[in-house]
Amino acid sequence: MTPRHRYKPMLAKEAKAAFTDPDWIFEVKWDGFRALAYVDSELSLRSRNQKELLDNFPELGELKRQAHDVVLDGEIIILNGGKVDFQALLERGKATSPTEIEQQTKRLPAAYVVFDILEKDGKPLLDLPLMERKKILQSAVQEGKHVLLADYVDGKGESYYEAILQKGLEGVMAKKKNSQYEPGLRSGSWLKIKKLLSCDCVVFGYTLGTGARKSTFGALVLGLYGADGKAVFVGKVGTGFSDETLDTMLSEFRKIETVNEPFKADVAEKLTWLKPKFVCEVAYQVVTKDMRLRMPRFVRLRNDKEPKDCTTDQLGGEAPLNEYAAKRHFAQTQEPPAQKEAPKSGSKENIFVVQEHHARRLHFDFRLERDGVLKSWAVPKGIPETPEDKRLAVQVEDHPLEYANFAGKIPQGQYGAGQVIIWDKGTYVTKVWDDKMVEVILDGEKLKGRYVLVPLRKAGKNNWLMLKPSQ
């Protein structure tokens, strides 16, 4: 790496759901190769592991005409029949001969979607708020045949996310308007929101196949590197492979077999260990408490990412509270910060709290302890008192357990500015908790008995109705 190529791309944390917030913008999450472009008298396009990408994508040389003396952040993508084609991109990344590259350039041309600017005329812009960088970017880069400027929408993340998924794209990025560019950091100021959670894992071994897969492997043994640099087992994946992957991978594996065990894997079948070389993206539903991917499915091999960059922070032990933390400045507000390790509430029963919140609009925040956090709803008209009351309850981000004790004033200019009063507090028992209904029995000072929340999907993803059924 020459000193000129000194930046690492800023990384995003994973958020569970899209949200609507005037302090954030939302962009398409492109399925391509992340690349920083260094444009001056020369042009260099660097992958996140500093690999030169211009050799394989010569058409992106157009950047030299569309911008001058800048460092840009963006994603190289291939659009094929209106859809993003990551497989084609992988093919292009692998090509080595000039004739092959030339043919591919014509057949499957790439585009560079630019979404950020790190330097202009030799001056770093990292400390400027995102929206100021966006403004500079607009005037610094001309769109061309292969150079595109990323669109974004202001605030309305939920409706945008729905529209993006309808188009068959994989998700959205949420970016905080006033955030600085933090090179190489996985920052809470950038959040990725995807249909399925996914994680880039290192293939540390495999099991042999049986039945129809007798001639190839059965499952891949997956691991990630912890903060201490040690590999940890996160599960195995046995589904989602294309025939091509199944055909070619085993012979590749044979070349990198090892007797070194990176970790203890609770895999019943006999397994063969591999040196860390292959990285694959794996989709999953949830991470269990012992850090295993539940319902994993192979998505794709990634040759644009180094094994050492596949770290456990992708799974974010604190992930449920990312959005909570990202919205608040704990130097300014007395609200409790999101803890890395969720503390136990101390009691065997789950707690609930209702906070009267005198924000821009008065509402009541109804919070239920579950999975180490407070699941939260804002109820504008207050908790229902009779079976006739049907109250809109808008689900908001999970709050840390300590929030149940919070009362006080959130200062002006901060998220949710205004007075918070504890209106009621107590314990509760769960009767039902699934996608279609949450039913609880509350035992508080004011609230006692059965309460029900049902999703009101047609009115928006986070909208629920809160009811107090007759006992």
Selected from 365, 369, 398, 424, the binder of Mn ion by CB under 5 A is 365
Choice between 69 and 356, CB closer to Mn ion: 356
Report 62-81 residues binding Mn ion (CB under 5 A).
none
Tokens at 256, concatenated: 């990198």
328 binds Mn ion (CB under 5 A): no
92 binds Mn ion (CB under 5 A): no
Choice between 27 and 335, CB closer to Mn ion: 335
The piece of 110-118, 180-188, 322-330, 365-373 that touches Mn ion (CB under 5 A) is: 365-373
What share of residues in the chain are helix, strand, coil (percent, to 5)? 20, 40, 40
145 to 164: interface string for Mn ion, x by CB under 5 A: --------------------
User: Which member of 13, 29, 134, 375 is catalytic?
Assistant: 29
User: Least distance from C-beta 418 to Mn ion, angstroms?
Assistant: 8
User: Least distance from C-beta 187 to Mn ion, angstroms?
Assistant: 25
Question: Which distant-in-sequence residues (6+ apart) come within 8 Å of 355 by Cβ?
Answer: 364, 365, 367, 406, 407, 420, 421, 422, 423
Residue nearest to Mn ion (CB): 357
Distance of CA 253 to the CA centre of its chain: 30
Asked about 29 being catalytic, the answer comes back as yes
User: Least distance from C-beta 411 to Mn ion, angstroms?
Assistant: 15
The piece of 9-17, 154-162, 282-290, 355-363 that touches Mn ion (CB under 5 A) is: 355-363
User: Least distance from C-beta 462 to Mn ion, angstroms?
Assistant: 13
357 binds Mn ion (CB under 5 A): yes
The piece of 227-235, 287-295, 349-357, 458-466 that touches Mn ion (CB under 5 A) is: 349-357
- Provide the β-strand partners of residue 465: 392, 454
Separation CA 107–CA 436 (nearest Å)? 48
Q: What is the binding site for Mn ion (CB under 5 A)?
A: 357, 365
Q: Which residues are catalytic?
A: 29
